[in-house]
Amino acid sequence: MLTRLLGPQRRYLWFWIFTGPFVIGLVVFSYVPLLWSITLSFFDARNTVTPTHFVGFANYLRVLTDPAFIQSLGTFALFAVVVVPATYALSLSLALLVSQLGWGRAFFRSVFFLPTACSYVVAALIWKMSIFSGVRFGLANTVLGWFGAAPVAWLSTTQPPWYWLVIITVRLWLQAGFFLVLFLAGLQRIPRILYEAAAVDGAQPGWQTFRYITFPQLRTTSVAVVLLLVINAFQAFDEFYNLLSSSRGYPPYARPPLVYLYYVALGQGQDLGVGSAGAVVLALIIAVATVMQARWFGLGRKEP
């Protein structure tokens, strides 16, 4: 067995030396918790990770009939409907602008990409305590004051749900730069000869070339970006938890699925069985949604 792993004359020894720690970490911190979470979903696991009472699919039934979980899926739907097209349009627009620069392209690409390295928790706290703090000295209310508008309690539940603006803007700031880089890579793969041929045929630069050349050539990149955006929307947690959890009075539909599962598994009840069942259900929903999107966009289909 050892000879098979290392190969003749130990040719694979350095391969396992470099990849072994990553494989071990992947198994210990990803696969083992995943399998144990699936196991917990079939047991009554309250305040323990070593349950003994098997309940079958009762935890799944409880999750699927819980109105709070259904409302959390509605929260995701509302969040995804806004943030996915907004991030797509913003990142594509910025990529088109940056790609047209004759100088400073690397500088602006780095500037827009830098927020990606920022922690979601830190960004949410900055948005909450500085930009949209709700006091008249906050940055957003200061700008509104220049135009004579009254201060807005951005994270209040007694007024219109302005907290959605706070959540959407922090997510846009954090992830638009990453998808900008993906679009820039896609734009660089478009043959310049297509634009030259279009100019010879009389196509006007701008909307015509974007509609008939640039956008169709970005189809593969667009499919990948949309898939990643939807998955990221399903996994929304930090901004919702850090912006809304410290205040009372928020309705259940202001919590996405991961926040709901956090309160179920690690809240006052600590029902790890129901939380694990909800995590499995959410993972299946993400997998089904991803496959449906891939089939709808024709991912992997050979071009005619």
Residue 53 lies in a domain: no
Q: Could you tell me if 223 and 155 lie in one domain? A: yes
Residue 260 lies in a domain: yes
pLDDT (0 to 100) of residue 91:
94
Residue 304 lies in a domain: no
pLDDT (0 to 100) of residue 2:
53
Spatial contact of 136 and 148, defined as CB atoms under 8 Å apart: no
pLDDT of 241-290, one tens digit each?
888 765 555 555 567 888 888 888 887 778 888 889 988 998 888 888 88
CATH number at residue 67: 1.10.3720.10
* pTM of structure: 0.81
Measured between alpha carbons, how far is 194 from 182 in angstroms, rounded to an integer? 21
How many domains would you assign to the chain? 2
Residue 286 corresponds to which tokens in the numbers above? 């993400």
Q: Could you tell me if 30 and 179 lie in one domain? A: no
pLDDT (0 to 100) of residue 3:
58
State which residues of the chain have pLDDT below 50: 303-304
Measured between alpha carbons, how far is 234 from 243 in angstroms, rounded to an integer? 17
Residue 121 lies in a domain: yes
Q: Could you tell me if 242 and 147 lie in one domain? A: yes
Residue 297 corresponds to which tokens in the numbers above? 């966009």
> Which range marks the domain in which residue 166 is found?
58-297
pLDDT (0 to 100) of residue 288:
87
Measured between alpha carbons, how far is 131 from 141 in angstroms, rounded to an integer? 8
pLDDT (0 to 100) of residue 291:
83
Residue 302 lies in a domain: no
DSSP conformation class of 116: G
Q: Could you tell me if 16 and 147 lie in one domain? A: no
Q: Could you tell me if 25 and 94 lie in one domain? A: no
Measured between alpha carbons, how far is 237 from 240 in angstroms, rounded to an integer? 5
Measured between alpha carbons, how far is 245 from 259 in angstroms, rounded to an integer? 9
pLDDT (0 to 100) of residue 160:
66
Cβ neighbors of 213 (< 8 A, separation 6 or more) are: 190, 194, 195, 198, 203
Residue 49 lies in a domain: no
